[in-house]
Every structure is written in structure tokens, then in C-alpha cells.
Amino acid sequence: LGKDVGLLVNLFERCGAPELRFLVMFGLWGGLGLGVFQMLLWLVWSPAWSLPATGALVGLITDWVALRLMFTPVQPVNILGRFKIQGLFLQRQREVASDFGEFFAKKILTPERIWDDIIRGNKSAALTALLESRIRAAVSPLEGALTDDFFATVSNRVQRALPEVVPSSYAYVEKTLALEGDLTSAMRSMPSEDFEEVLHPVFQEDEWILCLLGAVLGGLAGAAQVPFYR
């Protein structure tokens, strides 16, 4: 998954769409609130360079706070026994688990990908050994008259023919494995700490980029006001 950026983006857009909207709206309204504070500050302290500087600071702070609110606190925190606060993403554990299970079952752990990994991936040697063992068992009365090269040749031929045969098993494999339901149930029953680790680390290393982008955009917005200074 980490090697396929398109799938990674698709996964996060699907599972984290409400959080992405929150990030945008928090930046808008949070920036507006801090902008009012900046305006009041401007009445008593108004050097031209403060416009891009405070704009960058506002962009940085709003993005950083929004990201924190998405994933913290991990465990629900009761306030005065009446209000409960928890990371926005974590509050939607049941819903996200359903989206995550469906995505992985239909995009990642598909019968096609599973068979391709078995036939051509790291498990291909184990498959060859298994086929040879099964062939030996099937012709055990003749095994003494057959050479190891014979079994290896037949095993390789069967393995080469598998890509043409296995597509007919896709529906059966999907129904038998029932990955979507199992993944969904497993994620819904996860402790909050484990659930938070499912998606957060996927983009956690890039959070600084979001914060930096917010600072840059805020700084540019502030700099655009400099020509109108006084």
C-alpha cells in the first residue's frame, strides 16, 4: 500500500473525508478568529513585516490545532460529567471500520492480488513445493518409476497454467474468505489506541508539510496586504 500513492490517497479520502472537510473549515474559521486578533493587534503595533509574519503564524497554528483535534485525545475525556471529547477520527470508529474493510477487500486483498502473490510473489517457491508434493501423492503407485525431474517438470507446467485457470475461482475465494466482514468486525472491536494506529501513521510523517503549507499560504495572504500598508 505504501508503494501505491494513488491507493493511499484513495484510502484516506474515503475513510477520512469528514476529517479533511473539518481541516478546511477549521482553517477558514480558525483563521478568521485569529485574523480578528491580528486586526486588534494592528491597532497598537503595525509594522509592515508583521502582516506576512502573523499570516504565516495563523496558518501554521490553525493547521496544527486541526490535526491535533482529528486524532487526540485517543481515549474519550469527560468534562464535568456532561461533555465527552475525543479525536474526531476516533469518534467514527464504526463507520471508518466499515469503509476500511470494504476498501481493503475490494482494492487490496482481492482474489486477483492474492493469487498473483502466490503464483509470482515470495510464495511461489512454496507453491512449487506444494504442487510437487501433491503430484507425488497422486501418482504414488508409480513414484518409484518416475524421476525427480519428472515431478519438477509437471509441477512447473501446472504452475505456469495457473494464471489461466484461477480466474474462475475468484468469486469462490472472495465468498469463502469473507475478508470485508472480518476486517470490519476486527476494526470495530479494536481498542482506541490500536485503531488510531491504523491510519494516522500513514500520513503522520507528512503532517509537517500540511502545517508548512498553511504557514506559506498564510504568509502569502499577509504579504498581499503589504502594498496597501498605510
Give the mean pLDDT of 15-33.
Answer: 78
pTM of the model: 0.63
Residues 6+ apart with CB under 8 A from 223: 51, 52, 55
Helix axes 111-120, 124-138, angle to 10 degrees: 80
**Contact assessment for residue 70 and residue 19, using Cβ atoms and an 8 Å cutoff:** yes
pLDDT at 143: 60
Instruction: Please name the residue ranges forming H helices in 3-49.
Output: 5-15, 17-42
The string of pLDDT tens digits covering residues 108-141 is 888 888 888 888 877 777 877 887 777 777 776 6
pLDDT at 198: 75
| C-alpha cell belonging to residue 64 | 496544527
The string of pLDDT tens digits covering residues 38-89 is 778 777 777 777 778 888 888 888 888 888 888 888 888 888 777 888 888 8
Predicted confidence (pLDDT) at residue 19 exceeds the cutoff of 80: no
Domain boundaries, position 168: 5-228
What is the tally of helices (H) and strands (E) in the chain? 12, 2
Question: What number of CA atoms fall less than 13 Å from residue 183's CA on the CB side?
Answer: 19
The total number of structural domains in the chain stands at: 1
**Contact assessment for residue 222 and residue 53, using Cβ atoms and an 8 Å cutoff:** yes
- Band the pLDDT of 3: cuts 50, 70, 90: low
Predicted confidence (pLDDT) at residue 219 exceeds the cutoff of 60: yes
**How far apart, in whole angstroms, are the C-alpha atoms of residue 210 and residue 218?**
12
